[in-house]
Amino acid sequence: MMNLEKYLEVKPEVAEAIKAGKAVVALESTIISHGMPYPKNVETALKVEQIIRDYGAVPATIAILGGKLKVGLSADEIEYLGKAKEVVKTSRRDIPFIVAKKLDGATTVASTMILAALAGIKVFATGGIGGVHRGAQETFDISADLQELAHTNVAVICAGAKSILDIGLTLEYLETNGVPVVGYGTDELPAFYTRRSGFGVDYRVDTPEELAAALKAKWDLGLEGGLVVANPIPEAYEMDFDVINEAINVAVLEAEKQGIKGKESTPFLLARVKELTGGDSLESNIELVYNNAKVGAQLAVALAALK
């Protein structure tokens, strides 16, 4: 048995819910420390937790604070993360060093999945997943999120893949690794800010119950790995397909010219797209996260009912 007590601290409310087999939804912290400006980041994080409670589940925001793996943060800890300057964007490879050096780390999709799985949480709601970057056939720039989805048993509710990525190659990579990509109420993969991408999904499901039954079957059969639940941004908040894609193309060219690569590329591209769209993309980003929190809670409740 792994000696987890030394490293992992699960908030009592979250631990009790997991032990009782109740609905729990994991949330990442990169969106707080690297995704939005203060105080918008803290307001959004607290509202996301409230939405999850409103739909009958317990929220567990995940981060690393002072080297401790925290599953479930207090409002004060969320406030601290929202203001702190020296928070390291933490993926799988970074976890041991952030822990050993007793630093603060904001978890990405990959590391949130790892810590959620360690605590026994099966459902995670986020904004969008990482993926294969444009030009990856030369650079091999592929997000660790995809490898995590290949072997960690957590369902990820997202608004599709961020449209700054090569969506076709991202889907190919997921297919190679046996990760189902499910459209929630849609036959087309949403592309974060927009409801369409031009790419299909593997399966469409229309209810949380249908989704929970498929997830239970997957894991009961020992089919390791996660599942991508692609939940489109609500129509009222989606951005114009051409406007957002034009902004993304400009931002990608600028990143190339400036030699911005690796973990710096996504924050740069998202910030630049926000500037190019006059801030509209930030509003869309917040609304799609709220929508994913709702579906995540509904899925967690349906999954708990099947235990």
Model pLDDT for residues 43-89, shown as the tens digit of each residue: 999 999 999 999 999 999 999 999 999 999 999 999 999 999 999 99
Cα–Cα distances in angstroms (integers) from residue 260 to residues 24, 122, 128, 267, in the given order: 37, 34, 20, 10
Closest CA to 114 of 158, 157, 156: 156
Active site residue 89: no
Question: What are the structure tokens assigned to 16, written together?
Answer: 């009790």
Q: What is the pLDDT of residues 104-131, one digit of tens each?
A: 999 999 999 999 999 999 999 999 999 9
pLDDT digits (tens, 9 = 90+) for 216-229: 999 999 999 999 99
pLDDT score at 2: 62
Quick one: pLDDT band at residue 1, thresholds 50, 70, 90?
very low
Of the candidates 169, 150, 127, 124, which has an alpha carbon nearest to the alpha carbon of residue 266?
127
Among residues 11, 89, 122, 162, the one annotated as catalytic is 162
Of 11, 28, 89, 148, catalytic: 28
pTM for this predicted structure: 0.93
- Annotated active-site residue 28? The verdict is yes
Tokens 């994080």 sit on residue: 45
| Opening angle at CA 41, ends 255 and 88, nearest 5 | 60
Domains, the chain, with CATH or none: 8-240+285-306 (3.40.1790.10)
